[in-house]
Amino acid sequence: MALDKNGIAKRIAKELKDGYYVNLGIGIPTLIANYVPNDISVTLHSENGLLGMGPFPKKEKVSADMINAGKQTVTTLPGSSLFNSAESFAMIRGGHIDLTVLGAMEVSETGDIANWKIPGKMVKGMGGAMDLVAGTDNIIVAMMHTNKRGESKLLSKCSLPLTGVGCITKIVTNLALLEVTKNGFELIERAPGVNVEEIKTATKGKLHINGNIPEMEIN
Amino acid sequence: MKKVYKNAELATADIPDNCTLMFGGFGLCGIPENCITALVKKSISGLTCISNNAGVDDFGIGLMLHQHQVKKMISSYVGENAEFERQLLSGELEVELTPQGTLAEKIRAGGAGIPAFFTATGFGTEVAEDKETRQFGDKQYILENSLTADFAMVKAWKGDTDGNLIFKGTARNFNPMMATAGKITIAEVEELVEPGELDPNHIHTPGIFVQRIFKGVNYEKRIENLTITE
Tens digit of pLDDT at every position of chain A (219 positions): 799 999 999 999 999 999 999 999 999 999 999 999 999 999 999 999 999 999 999 999 999 999 999 999 999 999 999 999 999 999 999 999 999 999 999 999 999 999 999 998 888 899 999 999 999 999 999 999 999 999 999 999 999 999 999 999 999 999 999 999 999 999 999 999 999 999 999 999 999 999 999 999 987
Quick check: A73 and B107 CB within 8 A?
no
Distance from CA of A2 to the nearest CA of B (A): 29
Distance from CA of B221 to the nearest CA of A (A): 6
Residue A47 annotated among the catalytic residues of the structure: yes
* Among the listed residues A30, A21, A169, the one whose alpha carbon sits nearest the alpha carbon of residue A109: A169
A74 reaches B (C-beta below 8 A) = yes
Distance from CA of B38 to the nearest CA of A (A): 22
Quick check: B177 and A58 CB within 8 A?
no
User: Least CA distance to A92: which residue of chain B?
Assistant: B101
* Residues of chain B neighbouring A65 (CB-CB closer than 8 A): 29-30, 157, 168-171, 221
Do residues A46 and A66 touch, judged by C-beta distance below 8 A?
Answer: no
A119 reaches B (C-beta below 8 A) = no
Distance, in Å, from the CA atom of B221 to the CA atom of A109, rounded to the nearest integer, reads: 45
A214 reaches B (C-beta below 8 A) = no
Quick check: B27 and A88 CB within 8 A?
no
Which residue of A59, A87, A117, A130 to mutate against B (max B Cβ within 10 Å)? Answer: A130
Task: Identify which of B107, B172, B223 has the shortest CB distance to residue A49.
Answer: B172
* Among the listed residues B187, B173, B180, B182, the one whose alpha carbon sits nearest the alpha carbon of residue B101: B173
pLDDT tens string A52-67: 999 999 999 999 999 9
Which positions of chain B have pLDDT values less than 50? none
The overall pTM is greater than 0.95:
yes
Q: Which residues contact A103 (CB under 8 A, 6 or more apart)?
A: A25, A26, A27, A28, A29, A115, A141, A142, A143
Residues linked to residue B193 through DSSP beta bridges, in sequence order = B160
Quick check: A93 and B76 CB within 8 A?
no
* Residues of chain B neighbouring A49 (CB-CB closer than 8 A): 26, 170, 172-173
Asked casually if ipTM beats, i.e. exceeds, 0.90, the reply is yes
